[in-house]
């Protein structure tokens, strides 16, 4: 009972951007049952000024330490994708707890919620505050999620002396993580579309760590001088974005997205 109260308080306090519909039985179609979750999608995919290569092109190596690249057809995650349908995830993980993070750059506050209950807090994106915005991304309990992660075919290229660690998430249209940086890695969307904005390590972008990516896109991006424009592109299922070490990046989910990152550390 106390737990229920805590959950509903959390729902009232936060604009919860990670949402999962409760009607698990709906047919998946090719959107895995996720596309009907929302009454809207963000239409504008924006520009793409990041190189897109065939996954097995040898020339991808030149990107490892220099700039982001999108690789197409690198992995075949058909099986993993079917396990990530809404019906399948709710059946397997609906009763498990997940840890949601606030979607701001520095102060990642955590809220624990039953996976299936995130739907009760369903709400729209906010233009405003990353600190009040919850995002299901990472913090996965690897014991509980192991059987799912075992089915994921990660990108076959790793950097010398690194190994991959997964971070899995689901989030609604309009959500995303504002600018931050860390080590190199890959991002893949299993369902939905995700827009990426990136800057090299020595070009810190203008952003407020507690404003959402959507707010940055609306208020800052249109006024950027040409020389301060980011690298950007929208990735879709079947594409993997590679980001090199310490590159600044921010994300924006255009649809309800199911996604997985592989951090190389």
Ligand X SMILES: O=C(O)CCC(=O)C(=O)O
Q: Judged by CB under 6 A, how many residues of this single chain contact ligand X?
A: 9
Q: Which residue is nearest to ligand X (CB)?
A: 251
**Nearer Cβ to ligand X (11/177):** 177
**126 binds ligand X per the rule CB under 6 A:** no
Cβ(71)–Cβ(240) below 8 Å: yes
Smallest distance, Å, CB 12 to ligand X? 25
Site track 239-258 with ligand X (rule: CB under 6 A), x = hit: ----------x-x-------
The one-character DSSP state at 254 is S
**Nearer Cβ to ligand X (126/261):** 261
**Cα–Cα distance, 209 to 74 (Å, whole number):** 33
**Nearer Cβ to ligand X (7/232):** 232
Task: Out of 28, 104, 154, 187, point to the residue binding ligand X (CB under 6 A).
Answer: 187
**261 binds ligand X per the rule CB under 6 A:** yes
**177 binds ligand X per the rule CB under 6 A:** yes
Quote the longest CA-to-CA distance of the chain: 57
**191 binds ligand X per the rule CB under 6 A:** no
Smallest distance, Å, CB 172 to ligand X? 11
Subset of 1-30 contacting ligand X (CB under 6 A): none
Subset of 67-96 contacting ligand X (CB under 6 A): none
Smallest distance, Å, CB 46 to ligand X? 15
Calculate the dihedral angle through the C-alpha atoms of 52, 68, 99, 85, rounding to the nearest 10 degrees.
10
Q: Give ∠ CA 183-150-182 in degrees, rounded to 5.
A: 10
**137 binds ligand X per the rule CB under 6 A:** yes
**214 binds ligand X per the rule CB under 6 A:** no
Query: Tokens in use for 75?
Result: 């992995």
Cβ(42)–Cβ(174) below 8 Å: yes
**Nearer Cβ to ligand X (7/184):** 184
3-state secondary structure of 215: helix
3-state secondary structure of 11: helix
Q: Could you tell me the sign of the dihedral formed by the alpha carbons of 223, 226, 228, 231, in that order? A: positive
Cβ(154)–Cβ(185) below 8 Å: no
What's the burial of 49, exposed, middle or buried (CB within 10 Å: 0-12/13-18/19+)?
Answer: exposed
**Nearer Cβ to ligand X (215/251):** 251
Helix H or strand E segment including 153: none
**Nearer Cβ to ligand X (85/133):** 133
> Interface residues with ligand X (CB under 6 A)?
137, 176-177, 185, 187, 249, 251, 259, 261
């Amino acid at each position: 009972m106390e737990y229920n109260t805590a959950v509903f308080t959390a729902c009232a306090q936060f604009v919860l951007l990670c949402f999962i519909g409760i009607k698990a039985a709906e047919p998946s179609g090719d959107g895995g049952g996720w596309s009907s979750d929302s009454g809207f999608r963000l239409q504008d995919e924006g520009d793409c000024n990041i190189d897109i290569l065939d996954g097995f092109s040898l020339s991808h190596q030149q990107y490892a330490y220099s700039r982001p690249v999108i690789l197409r057809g690198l992995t075949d995650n058909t099986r993993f994708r079917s396990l990530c349908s809404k019906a399948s995830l709710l059946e397997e993980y609906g009763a498990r707890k997940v840890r949601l993070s606030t979607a701001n750059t520095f102060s990642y506050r955590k809220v624990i919620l039953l996976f299936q209950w995130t739907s009760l807090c369903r709400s729209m994106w906010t233009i405003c505050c990353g600190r009040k915005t919850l995002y299901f991304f990472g913090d996965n309990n690897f014991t509980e999620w192991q059987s799912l992660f075992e089915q994921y075919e990660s990108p076959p290229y790793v950097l010398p002396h690194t190994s991959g660690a997964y971070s899995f998430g689901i989030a609604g249209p309009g959500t995303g993580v504002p600018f931050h940086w860390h080590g190199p890695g890959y991002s893949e969307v299993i369902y939905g579309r995700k827009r990426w904005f990136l800057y090299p390590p020595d070009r810190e972008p203008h952003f407020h760590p507690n404003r959402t990516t959507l707010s940055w896109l609306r208020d800052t991006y249109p006024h950027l001088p040409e020389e301060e424009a980011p690298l950007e592109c929208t990735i879709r299922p079947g594409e993997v974005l590679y980001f090199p070490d310490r590159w600044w990046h921010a994300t924006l989910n255009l649809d309800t997205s199911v996604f997985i990152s592989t951090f190389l550390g």
